[in-house]
Amino acid sequence: MDVNAQFELSKEYLEKLKNAIDGDDKDFIKTTMDGVNHADISSVLEEFNSADSKFVIDLLDVEVGANIISDLDDDTQKSFLKEFDSVEIAKFIDYLDSDDSADILNELPLKARQEVISKIENQEKTANILELLRYEEDSAGGLMAKEMIRANINWTVVQCIEEIRRQAGNVQKIYSVYVVDNKDKLLGRVSLKRIILADDNKKIADIYEDDIASVETFMDEEEVASIMRKYDLEAVPVVNVHGKLVGRITIDDIVDVITELAEQERQLMSGISEDVEEDDSLWVSARARLPWLVIGLAGGILAAKVMGFFEEAIKSVTAMAFFVPLIMATGGNVGIQSSSIIVQSLANKSVFEENTFKRLLKALLVAIINGAVLGAVVFITSYLLIDNDIRLAIVVSTSLVSVVLLASFTGTLTPLVLDKMGINPALASGPFITTANDLLGLGVYFIIFYVLY
327: left (phi over 0), alpha (psi -120 to 50) or beta: alpha
Residue type, position 395, single letter: V
Indicate if 156 and 287 belong to the same structural domain.
no
Instruction: Quote the CA–CA distance of 377 and 385 in Å, as a whole number.
Output: 12
Q: What is the CATH number of the domain that holds 205?
A: 3.10.580.10
Indicate if 375 and 242 belong to the same structural domain.
no
Indicate if 236 and 306 belong to the same structural domain.
no
Whether the Cβ atoms of residue 268 and residue 426 lie closer than 8 Å to each other: yes
Q: 138, 158, 180 — which closes off a domain?
A: 138
Q: What is the CATH number of the domain that holds 296?
A: 1.10.357.20
pTM above 0.85, yes or no: no
Give the bridge partners for 151, in sequence order: 179
Indicate if 332 and 425 belong to the same structural domain.
yes
Indicate if 235 and 256 belong to the same structural domain.
yes
State the average pLDDT over residues 274-285.
Answer: 65
- The verdict on residue 327 lying in a domain is yes
Indicate if 256 and 292 belong to the same structural domain.
no
DSSP-derived 3-state class of residue 247 = strand
Indicate if 237 and 353 belong to the same structural domain.
no
- The verdict on residue 333 lying in a domain is yes
pLDDT averaged over the chain?
Answer: 86
Q: How many domains does the chain have?
A: 3
State the average pLDDT over residues 394-414.
Answer: 90
- pLDDT given at position 1: 36
Indicate if 129 and 222 belong to the same structural domain.
no
- The verdict on residue 351 lying in a domain is yes
Q: H-helix or E-strand containing 250?
A: strand 245-250
Whether the Cβ atoms of residue 395 and residue 236 lie closer than 8 Å to each other: no
Cβ atoms within 10 Å of 219's Cβ, excluding its own = 18
pLDDT at 151 over 60: yes
Instruction: Quote the CA–CA distance of 284 and 83 in Å, as a whole number.
Output: 24
- The verdict on residue 265 lying in a domain is no
Whether the Cβ atoms of residue 253 and residue 96 lie closer than 8 Å to each other: no
Indicate if 131 and 156 belong to the same structural domain.
no
The percent of residues above 90 in pLDDT, for the chain, comes to: 45
- The verdict on residue 231 lying in a domain is yes
pLDDT at 159 over 60: yes
Indicate if 253 and 339 belong to the same structural domain.
no
Indicate if 293 and 429 belong to the same structural domain.
yes
Q: What is the CATH number of the domain that holds 20?
A: 1.25.60.10
pLDDT digits (tens, 9 = 90+) for 420-441: 887 777 765 667 777 788 888 8
- The verdict on residue 403 lying in a domain is yes
State the average pLDDT over residues 198-219.
Answer: 94
Whether the Cβ atoms of residue 185 and residue 244 lie closer than 8 Å to each other: yes
Instruction: Quote the CA–CA distance of 323 and 163 in Å, as a whole number.
Output: 75
State the average pLDDT over residues 251-275.
Answer: 75
pLDDT at 2 over 60: no
Q: 77, 109, 138 — which closes off a domain?
A: 138
Q: Three-class SS string for 380-429?
A: HHHHHHCCCCHHHHHHHHHHHHHHHHHHHHHHHHHHHHHHHCCCCHHHHH
- The verdict on residue 269 lying in a domain is no
Indicate if 82 and 158 belong to the same structural domain.
no
Q: 229, 260, 291 — which closes off a domain?
A: 260
State the average pLDDT over residues 65-71.
Answer: 93
Give, in order, the Cα–Cα distances in Å from 59 to each of 64, 202, 219. 10, 49, 41
- The verdict on residue 213 lying in a domain is yes
- pLDDT given at position 361: 83
Q: Which domain holds residue 339?
A: 282-452
The percent of residues above 70 in pLDDT, for the chain, comes to: 90
Whether the Cβ atoms of residue 95 and residue 69 lie closer than 8 Å to each other: no
